[in-house]
Structure 1
């Protein structure tokens, strides 16, 4: 455990907000250093659009088991000043510790415990928190043809694994109006803020709670000054769906939006970002994981469906059996109370290591 905690501290204390390429590159150096120390091998560095991703491959044959994680976080530079790395009372804290730097350390130690890693690959990306724009094709290519993809993202509450993830779509609705003086002649304008309000209400009605579909208007803005009829506005939309049919229904509805006010214009950009990860993608792997956990004397594993997306959506999308949420147990992802429960780190690493060994010894169909 001292080595595990030291490695987590080394990763957490190198801040790596997704939007800062220099910070992500520095973090990649730290992950490569820690990984090289544990695995006895340097990773390949894959730089796409200035962003650094790391890949370890073991053995000369094809990859059969892919371990997957990311080293970027949502926390801006300077967060360590207000959220320092600490370990107290059995709880580890620090920006990005739960999502998901402790998970990366678990992956490294799990692989280090294997006497034979032939057929295993570990991919650590640097842009998952912003939708994996530069690593998506890399993730899909690494996963294609594998017997299993094990995602070391943080666990669900109570340590549950993530068996199903919703597909994610992101949009921006852009509204065009016509500026006019708000006091002298507002009637000559076309109010983009009012048009935006109409569209927000229309979009918010596209969800289907019965099918688990959420369509949520989020960040919004309109206008340039307080005494001018707004000439432009825009708002972002986050849409989540359990199946491809619902994702496509929402996409068609978004593209079918039309202006309400005379003279207003409307543009919808964006679309599906991550495909759904259905329960069928994880069912067989989850049973294997439960068997392995029982053989280790660990408590029975639980599994849940979640709304958040991960790179596991991409691995499932190319047909690779995928099991997600194998990382740290804790809570507070992206929040002030982000934390990891230290007592679960060693059992989790043992589970991942034994599961990889089992998959190598008994390949899945």
Structure 2
């Protein structure tokens, strides 16, 4: 673990930042810089180059350089404003699922109000929106921005950092892309991941198959058992995925493995499925099972987002942006971690568009300044609310 601090927390911003009403051209210029620096999660060198670009763009907009927190050789970027504790955390990532060379087949470009390029929607536009929104604040004291570099891998190095930054905050605002039509994400399923390993005994499939213990057959029993653990009425899915078994066509398989993907809406279901997975028993005599894995991300339950969504909806109407929609989605984000430690969390505040991880990934340009304005208003409202609470507490202490 390494930690390089390039500016103290209470360092003043060096220059006035742009407002959310600035020209779309400035938003697009920053987004082009991020998108044209490819950043596949598994390529540490590429992620490091991208971190340099993100740091440069953020420094230009915010007035000072971020802390560069290096965990397991992977850089994460953190800006903190003011000398006090975090009150509002803006959370994003700059790594993508797109392999190096994707720009050759999916070049950055804007055509008829639609911006395209690898990672533009998920979620480099969200990072740019965060920078421009905070730059527009009259006083950003209490705000922190964390941009990580391993979200698409499941945040193996950054989870602890995310949870530490979010602890005690009044809100975590996640700049992941919106749901369909620009809806904010008020519910995300939790994820559990498992590997089921079956151990049998090899024998010749033609001469003496009865002497073997067929791992493929045992795996088939277990796949069927696991598939019954889902509960559609509660939104719980339990899906066997990658399956491997055997070595040659004339050998009774001695080993098999399969992966299991679990998605749940609440922790009670996550606990139920976990207990059931660990309780699996072999069906064939002399077969053995080993179950590894478990909960990977807690669910982001709607109760964590409800008040923030209501606040955002009221602000959107006041800004003339129209009412907001909300959505429950099966995919997870780092917002699952912030909600999991009890921090109120609102997700999907980033780009409006579509095609995450797909050939048609795109961002609607007209929505970029609108989302920036909404985020600026929401942060301002949260900080003002927090300052009122602090003044009331101080007054009570002095009475």
Q: Aligned match of 1:143 in 163, 166, 169?
A: 166
2: distance between equivalents of 1:182 and 1:25? 52
Aligned to 1:273: 296
Q: Which moved more, 1:145-154 or 1:213-222?
A: 213-222
Shift of 1:86: 2.0
1: distance between equivalents of 2:80 and 2:273? 39
Shift of 1:79: 2.0
Aligned to 2:7: none
**Are 2:148 and 1:125 aligned?**
yes
2: distance between equivalents of 1:207 and 1:79? 37
Q: SS at the partner of 1:282?
A: helix
Aligned to 1:55: 78
Shift of 1:235: 1.2
Aligned to 2:240: 217
**Are 2:322 and 1:299 aligned?**
yes
2: distance between equivalents of 1:189 and 1:16? 48
Q: Aligned match of 1:29 in 23, 46, 52?
A: 52
* Deviation by residue 1:42-74 (Cα, 9 ceiling, x = unmatched): 110111111111100011111111000111111
**Are 2:358 and 1:335 aligned?**
yes
Aligned to 1:105: 128
Shift of 1:82: 2.2
Shift of 1:317: 1.3
Alignment: residue pair count: 365
Shift of 1:228: 2.6
* Deviation by residue 1:195-220 (Cα, 9 ceiling, x = unmatched): 22211111111100001101111122
Aligned to 1:10: 33
Q: Aligned match of 1:308 in 328, 331, 348?
A: 331
Q: Which moved more, 1:174-183 or 1:55-64?
A: 174-183
Aligned to 2:307: 284
Shift of 1:248: 0.3
Q: Which moved more, 1:320-329 or 1:76-85?
A: 76-85
2: distance between equivalents of 1:27 and 1:192? 45
Mark the CA change 1:85 to 1:227 in structure 2 (over 3 Å): closer, same or farther: farther
Q: TM-score, normalized by length of structure 2? A: 0.89
**Are 2:254 and 1:231 aligned?**
yes
2: distance between equivalents of 1:202 and 1:282? 35
Structure number with greater Rg is 2
2: distance between equivalents of 1:143 and 1:124? 13
Q: TM-score, normalized by length of structure 1? A: 0.97
Shift of 1:24: 1.5
